[in-house]
Amino acid sequence: MRVLLVEDDEALAEAIARALRAEAFAVDIAANGEDGGHFGATEAYDVAVLDLGLPKRDGLSVLADWRAAGRTLPVLILTARDGWSDKVLGFKAGADDYLVKPFRVEELVMRLRALVRRAAGHAASVIRCGPLAFDSATGQFELDGLPLKLTAFEWRVLSALMLRKNAVIERLDLLERVYEGDADVDSNSLEVIIGRLRRKIGTTLIETVRGLGYRVTDGG
């Protein structure tokens, strides 16, 4: 999962990014509304965390522009503005969730996971594919009922495939959700990750759709 974090408090942004990366998220940080608006309009993200009181452009105008342009990525507003009228304005602008500072990072992680899951069309938190189960609320994978140990890159690829179970995900789309924006990406890196995953979960669950991409399928 790749997150866009638009937050002008550098210390807070770095603390949030560290916490999200510890949970295997890829995180891009924008320190002002102008950069955040551009990133959200042009890059592929699973979810955005958006402050309201930003330099250069206010968060509400950034969000309104995303929605006017047809950008449907889930957006969680993270702000010190705790008034009811502020929340109403945020949701009217197109926010999917609203969290007031100060907050617990654990709650932020849970809310982001829920937003991504619902955006992918899943009501239940646990997604199953044959012997493989992904608990999108906790981020944990199990294979045949036993915990599955994955690297951050493996987790990002497999969670993206499980959230869109039975759908083909293009290679570029997967790459954009695995690496942060400033990463130096090797052209064969995705194939290496897919190969490692197949060694861990078996060769039949991840299907290569030649010329298109990959999908997780149990034949359903």
| Gap between the Cα atoms of 137 and 219, Å rounded | 25
| Gap between the Cα atoms of 31 and 17, Å rounded | 13
What residue ranges in 67-197 does DSSP mark as E strands? 75-79, 97-100, 126-129, 132-135, 140-143, 146-147, 169-170
The continuous run of DSSP H or E covering 62 comes out as helix 59-68
At residue 62, the pLDDT reads: 96
- 63 in Cβ contact with 52 (< 8 Å): no
- Tell me the per-residue pLDDT of 150-192, one tens digit each, with 9 for 90 and over: 999 999 999 999 999 999 999 888 888 887 776 666 668 889 9
Residue spans in the chain of domains classed CATH 1.10.10.10? 126-216
pLDDT-derived band at 220 (thresholds 50, 70, 90) equals: very low
Residue spans in the chain of domains classed CATH 3.40.50.2300? 2-119
Cα dist. 168→95, 165, 176, 178 in Å?
28, 8, 15, 16
- Tell me the per-residue pLDDT of 25-36, one tens digit each, with 9 for 90 and over: 999 999 999 999
Threshold 0.85, pTM exceeds: yes
Domain at 2-119, CATH from 3.30.1330.40, 3.90.180.10, 3.40.50.2300, 3.60.15.10? 3.40.50.2300
Say which CATH class 126-216 falls into. Answer: mainly alpha
